[in-house]
């Protein structure tokens, strides 16, 4: 088969469409013929050599895909999945390829009525957003959630999901166009982080019960100032660095909590729990049309380098798909 290999750590030009051996599905895994995959910021970090795949994972980038099951390893017969099923999947890597081996616990059916290619935009954002807003962040109806990077793949999904839960949604983004798109998706409070102090604005709006953060170090202080008493900060990205000073006095007085998580490094059993939660609680919202994947553009898989250039320029809103 062919896959996008990272020849060496570097810029987008190190991504090369190459002939490679077919993956062999192991115990409890199926082989998926990939129709589409999608680009995630983590793929950019992996390409730069800053985010190596966890042990045992495919060396090719790609954390999600859609496609058709074309083979299976031992122990799959009793799982309900079979050759010919159309699926989308959360991956630990290897999505930028013609075929990928996937543990059955990470498979999801294509949501009813959805184009199978478009479905490749869902698994990573659905699992990340559901696990962090619900399992970790305990978001409830009537609460206010601040979502940083509202125009991102993660953000465009998180806005719709939080709204569907009955939360009031605030977002930050770096342009008027992205903020307008966030409003269309259901955000009520929109903040241009280039021109406005988001912590001040959130305090004026009564404070956030939960912050979903992608910046890390550079936003830590302002995130804590944005939270109301009992507020939770959930950090899922480190685009603004990994270290910062933590004001424990503010945490203590306001009874705040800070958690940081990553989906990719979780063991397969934990991923399976998240995937089944998504199937139960998120898929019905997608099938009802309350949540739609926001796809900025689709490029051929061979043009992964161009897709990475777009992502690094932040010109996109929502997801960038790579199709066969
Ligand atoms: N921990 C996990 O399990 C997990 C899983 C998936 C994703 N993530 C993380 O989630 C983040 C988003 O991922 P993605 O794939 O959705 O990437 P993406 O679409 O490229 O989104 C990144 C966004 O950040 C915005 N941004 C840049 N600087 C900002 C700032 N100072 N304040 C607010 N927004 C800013 C960018 O747009 P503008 O500047 O134009 O607004 C862009 O929309 C990444 O950090 C990624 O690593 C974590």
Domains in the chain: boundaries: 2-122+264-323, 130-260
Structural element, H or E, at residue 16: strand 15-19
**For residue range 77-126, what is the model confidence (pLDDT) as tens digits?**
999 999 999 999 999 999 999 999 999 999 999 999 999 999 999 999 99
| Ligand 1 pocket at CB < 6 A | 40-42, 124, 128, 148-149, 151-154, 172-175, 178, 193, 214-215, 236-237, 239, 261-263, 311, 314
**For residue range 9-51, what is the model confidence (pLDDT) as tens digits?**
999 999 999 999 999 999 999 999 999 999 999 999 999 999 9
Q: Model-level pTM? A: 0.98
Q: What secondary structure letter does DSSP report for 167?
A: -
Name the residue of 197, 213, 214, 215 whose CB sits within 8 Å of the most ligand 1 atoms, as the mutation to test its pocket.
Answer: 214
Atom of ligand 1 nearest to the CA of 151: 43
Please tell me the residue having the least CA distance from ligand 1 atom 33. 149
pLDDT at 42: 97
Distance 106 CA to ligand 1 centre (A): 23
Name the residue of 239, 240, 278 whose CB sits within 8 Å of the most ligand 1 atoms, as the mutation to test its pocket.
Answer: 239
pLDDT at 17: 98
CATH of domain 130-260: 3.40.50.720
Place 73 in a pLDDT band, splitting at 50, 70 and 90.
very high
Name the residue of 64, 133, 237 whose CB sits within 8 Å of the most ligand 1 atoms, as the mutation to test its pocket.
Answer: 237
Distance 110 CA to ligand 1 centre (A): 25
Q: Do domains 2-122+264-323 and 130-260 have the same CATH topology?
A: no
pLDDT at 156: 98
**For residue range 235-291, what is the model confidence (pLDDT) as tens digits?**
999 999 999 999 999 999 999 999 999 999 999 999 999 999 999 999 999 999 999
Q: Give the C-alpha separation, 252 to 147, whole Å.
A: 23
The pair of three-digit structure tokens given for residue 110, joined into one six-digit string: 């294509």
The pair of three-digit structure tokens given for residue 23, joined into one six-digit string: 């993956």
Which CATH topology does 2-122+264-323 take? Answer: Quinone Oxidoreductase; Chain A, domain 1 (3.90.180)
Helix axes of 153-165 and 176-185: crossing angle, nearest 10 degrees: 30
């Amino acid at each position: 088969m062919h896959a996008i290999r990272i020849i060496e750590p570097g810029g987008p030009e190190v991504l090369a469409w190459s002939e490679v051996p077919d993956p062999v599905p192991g115990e409890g895994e199926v082989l998926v013929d990939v129709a589409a995959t999608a680009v995630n910021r983590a793929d950019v970090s992996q390409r730069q050599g800053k985010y190596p795949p966890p042990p045992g994972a495919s060396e090719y980038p790609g954390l999600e895909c859609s496609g058709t099951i074309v083979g299976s390893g031992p122990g799959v017969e009793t799982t309900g999945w079979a050759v010919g099923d159309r699926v989308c999947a959360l991956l630990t890597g290897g999505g930028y390829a013609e075929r990928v081996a996937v543990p059955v616990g990470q498979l999801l059916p294509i949501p009813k009525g959805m184009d199978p290619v478009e479905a490749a935009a869902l698994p990573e954002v659905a699992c990340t957003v559901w696990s962090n807003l619900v399992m970790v962040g305990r978001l409830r109806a009537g609460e206010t959630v601040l979502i940083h990077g509202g125009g991102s793949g993660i953000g465009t999904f998180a806005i719709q999901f939080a709204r569907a839960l009955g939360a009031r949604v605030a977002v930050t983004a770096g342009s008027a166009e992205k903020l307008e798109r966030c409003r269309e998706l259901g955000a009520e409070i929109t903040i241009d982080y280039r021109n406005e102090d988001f912590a001040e604005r959130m305090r004026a709006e009564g404070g956030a019960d939960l912050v979903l953060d992608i910046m890390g170090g550079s936003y830590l202080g302002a995130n804590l100032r944005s939270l109301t008493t009992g507020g939770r900060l959930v950090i899922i990205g480190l685009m603004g660095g990994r270290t910062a000073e933590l004001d424990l006095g503010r945490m203590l007085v306001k009874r705040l909590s800070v958690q940081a998580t990553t989906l990719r490094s979780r063991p397969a059993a934990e991923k399976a729990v998240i995937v089944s939660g998504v199937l139960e609680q998120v898929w019905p919202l997608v099938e009802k049309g309350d949540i739609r994947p926001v796809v900025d553009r689709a490029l051929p898989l061979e043009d992964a380098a161009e897709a990475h250039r777009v992502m690094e320029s932040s010109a996109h809103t929502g997801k960038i798909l790579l199709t066969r």
